[in-house]
Amino acid sequence: MLEQTKRLYAAGQGAVTDIDEAQARLDLVEAQEAENQANRVAALRTLAGRGGLPVFEVAPMQELPPASTPLEPQRTLEYWANLARNASPELTARAAQVRVAEAQTESQRAGHYPTLSLTTQVSRRENSQYQELSPRQDSYYVGLSLDIPLYRGGSTSASVRKATANLAGAQADYDAERQQLTEDVETDYMGVVAGFAKCKALQRAVESNQKALISTEKGYQGGVRSTVDILDAQQRLFEARRDLLNSKLDMLTSYVSLHVRTGQMDRGVLERVQHLF
């Protein structure tokens, strides 16, 4: 566009401000391209480090969004939330901590309860005065022992209070983990559903900006538009394409995260993401 503007200016068409505007846009694009290339190289290195394999190139993303939403319509948010509660290892660990705290609390409270014990005793006595007969006397005792604790210096009460506090903390951690998991699943679910709708809207925006660019170029040929108008139309078109790709990437990221949180991630999911990418 800059070279075309210079040629038109040399032929007596356009103004010097058109050249300055085109040069400014070109300089900005080149600066952004250099930054994006550096970020791309850093991202490839990070990906190679995480995967343990050298990664030199990633296939470009398809611009068109999928024809239909990646999620099955019958699988609602409640369906995914229930799957996450059953599959989340963090939530399972929190629930185990609650059960342990409950057992410890009951164990400490048992210090206040009476204790009934069964006792047995055997005694044997031999009399060697009579060598021939050697009489022997055996005694057997069986009884019950009832221990009723009255006061033990407050140690049992303190232990019960401590165990109760630990139980309340474990229950609070479990509730917080479950609430956070529910929110994360809802965010991922809406990221897929709303992301698909956003992709469709941005696809229409790309088509509209493409038509607007063609109309602006025709207007420029007819002398009613300037190069600045063309640059603006091109910028809007590329911004719409960029937003479409970013929205599609966010949708696919939410799709993967949703399956990871619910324990449904497998090779089939990865293959579908690769197909949609």
Would you state the pLDDT for residue 254? 92
Would you state the pLDDT for residue 208? 93
CA 148 vs CA 50, 82, 111, 156: distances in Å: 63, 48, 10, 14
For all residues of the chain together, what is the average pLDDT?
A: 80
- Decide which of 159 and 259 is more confident: 259
Would you state the pLDDT for residue 210? 92
**Cβ neighbour number for residue 243 with a 10 Å cutoff:** 16
Q: Would you place residue 96 in the very low, low, confident or very high pLDDT band (cuts 50, 70, 90)?
A: confident
Cβ-Cβ contacts under 8 Å for 254 (sequence gap 6 or more): 187, 188, 189, 190, 191, 192, 195
Residue 130 has pLDDT above 70, yes or no: no
Mean pLDDT for 57-63 is: 75
Residue 51 has pLDDT above 70, yes or no: no
- Decide which of 211 and 118 is more confident: 211
Closest alpha carbon to 190 in 76, 277, 272: 76
Write down all domains in the chain, each with its CATH number in brackets: 2-94+164-276 (1.20.1600.10)
- For residues 111 and 99, what is the distance between their CA atoms, to the nearest angstrom? 19
Q: Would you place residue 251 in the very low, low, confident or very high pLDDT band (cuts 50, 70, 90)?
A: very high
Decide: 21 and 30 in contact? Cβ < 8 Å. no
Percent of the chain with pLDDT over 90: 14
Closest alpha carbon to 149 in 141, 159, 140, 139: 159
Q: Would you place residue 207 in the very low, low, confident or very high pLDDT band (cuts 50, 70, 90)?
A: very high
